[in-house]
């Protein structure tokens, strides 16, 4: 009783192999994505970049470092981040957002109370999706535009390692506790479905605690502050699948979500000739309410500038222009 009538009909007439309860992680993701699809007017721009200058730069710099002779641990790390471009794009997008601050922040849409407010933030907190055996978690790298690429790469590696050692159920319950407290203080009736989901999960848990994470020290796990307060999210789909592009969904109250495809060799027209070049697709999905989608144009220009001159990212140090 009280079940979706179509589901009830299917259960009666289709052989079911297994009824798999949704974990609190999946419930939370479903809740957020449903809110996003229901409330956010999405605008997406998919752009293909010729990243041959980036590939050539990293190849030349690797060869230059190897030519020095003896390679220490620091040099080995610098060589490693010239083979994996994740940290490069995290820092590049942060630099682009620093130059286009209207696209970085969070949005409170309140048409009755005050018409809505966009909070443009000084902090650029980039959430990076990490695939774990129990689901995707998006830990934050804070203000990568103010750090060297080596520092950003180390932080990305650290939070990714922590994500794979964290029980998502426990982590998301802690985050829910923080959000429920905030919702009750604000008397926000829009949070009622989320509060009910949290309360129902606390009273009637559908998944047991994962013993896999019992002996992992807390300092090796993600905490709520590691995944809350992002101002932009990046999904590097190309790290997992040979996908040319992806269309991402904004995570409210954020207003921007980047999706990165795989880096591959493909045909490109240069001076009227079709030549092989290294290509990558970037999808920028935006909440169209707080700003005009035209803000994506300068974002594209800055990303293009850093790809064409990757030394601006790789050799950046504190005090340099962003």
**Residue whose C-alpha is closest to residue 232's, from 294, 143, 315:** 143
pLDDT, tens digit, for every residue of 109-146?
988 888 899 999 999 999 999 998 888 899 999 999 99
Residue indicated by tokens 């591959």? 264
Place of tokens 């230059």: 64
Q: Is residue 16 part of a domain?
A: no
CATH code (residue 107):
3.30.559.10
Measured CA to CA, the distance from residue 144 to residue 124 in angstroms comes to: 7
Residue 249: strand, helix, or coil: coil
pLDDT score at 241? 65
Burial 217-239 (b: 16+ CB within 10 A, else e): eeeebbebebbeebbbbbbbbbe
CA 119/CA 125 separation, integer angstroms? 14
User: Does 268 fall in a domain?
Assistant: yes
pLDDT of 168-216, one tens digit each?
888 998 999 999 899 888 888 888 888 888 888 888 877 766 677 878 8
State the Cα–Cα distance between residues 17 and 34, nearest whole angstrom: 27
pLDDT of residue 2: 79
In a domain, 175, yes or no: no
Range of the domain at 233: 27-67+74-166+216-314
Q: Is residue 44 part of a domain?
A: yes
**Tokens representing 274?**
């079709």
Q: How far is CA 5 from CA 17, 18, 84, 128, in A?
A: 20, 19, 49, 39
What SS3 state is found at 107? strand
Quote the pLDDT of residue 212.
Answer: 77
How many domains does the chain fold into? Answer: 1
- By the 8 A CB rule, do 253 and 186 touch? no
Checking if the pLDDT of 244 tops 70, the result is no
110 assigned to some structural domain: yes
Q: Please provide residue 275's backbone torsions phi and psi, each rounded to the nearest 5 degrees.
A: -130, 155
Query: Element (H or E) spanning 258, and its range?
Result: strand 256-260
The verdict on residue 185 lying in a domain is no
Residue 159 in any domain: the answer is: yes
- pLDDT, tens digit, 9 for 90 and up, residues 36-61: 999 999 988 889 999 999 999 999 98
Determine the pLDDT at residue 245. Answer: 64
**Does some domain include residue 186?**
no
């Amino acid at each position: 009783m009280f079940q979706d009538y179509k589901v009830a009909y299917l259960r009666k007439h289709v052989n079911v192999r297994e009824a798999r309860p949704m974990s609190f992680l999946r419930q939370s993701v479903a809740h957020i994505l449903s809110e996003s699809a229901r409330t956010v007017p999405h605008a997406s721009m998919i752009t293909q970049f010729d990243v041959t200058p980036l590939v050539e730069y990293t190849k030349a710099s690797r060869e230059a470092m190897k030519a020095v002779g003896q390679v220490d641990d620091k040099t080995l790390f610098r060589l490693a981040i010239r083979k994996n471009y994740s940290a490069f794009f995290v820092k590049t997008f942060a630099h682009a957002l620093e130059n286009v601050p209207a696209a970085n922040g969070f949005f409170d849409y309140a048409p009755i109370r005050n018409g809505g407010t966009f909070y443009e933030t000084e902090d650029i907190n980039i959430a990076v999706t990490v695939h774990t055996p129990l689901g995707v978690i998006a830990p934050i790298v804070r203000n990568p535009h103010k750090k060297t690429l080596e520092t950003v790469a180390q932080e990305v590696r650290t939070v990714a390692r922590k994500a794979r050692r964290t029980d998502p159920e426990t982590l998301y319950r802690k985050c829910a506790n923080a959000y429920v407290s905030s919702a009750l203080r604000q008397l926000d009736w829009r949070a009622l479905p989320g509060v009910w989901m949290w309360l129902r999960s606390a009273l009637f848990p559908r998944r047991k605690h994962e013993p896999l994470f019992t002996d992992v020290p807390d300092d090796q796990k993600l905490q709520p502050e590691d995944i809350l307060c992002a101002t932009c999210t990046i999904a590097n789909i190309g790290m997992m699948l040979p996908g040319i592009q992806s269309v991402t969904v904004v995570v409210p109250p954020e207003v921007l979500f980047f999706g990165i495809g795989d880096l591959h060799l493909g045909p490109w027209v240069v001076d009227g000739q079709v030549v092989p070049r290294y290509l990558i697709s970037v999808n920028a999905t935006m909440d169209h309410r707080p700003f005009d989608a035209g803000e994506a144009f300068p974002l594209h220009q800055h990303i293009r500038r850093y790809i064409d001159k990757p030394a601006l990212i790789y050799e950046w140090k504190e005090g340099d222009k962003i």
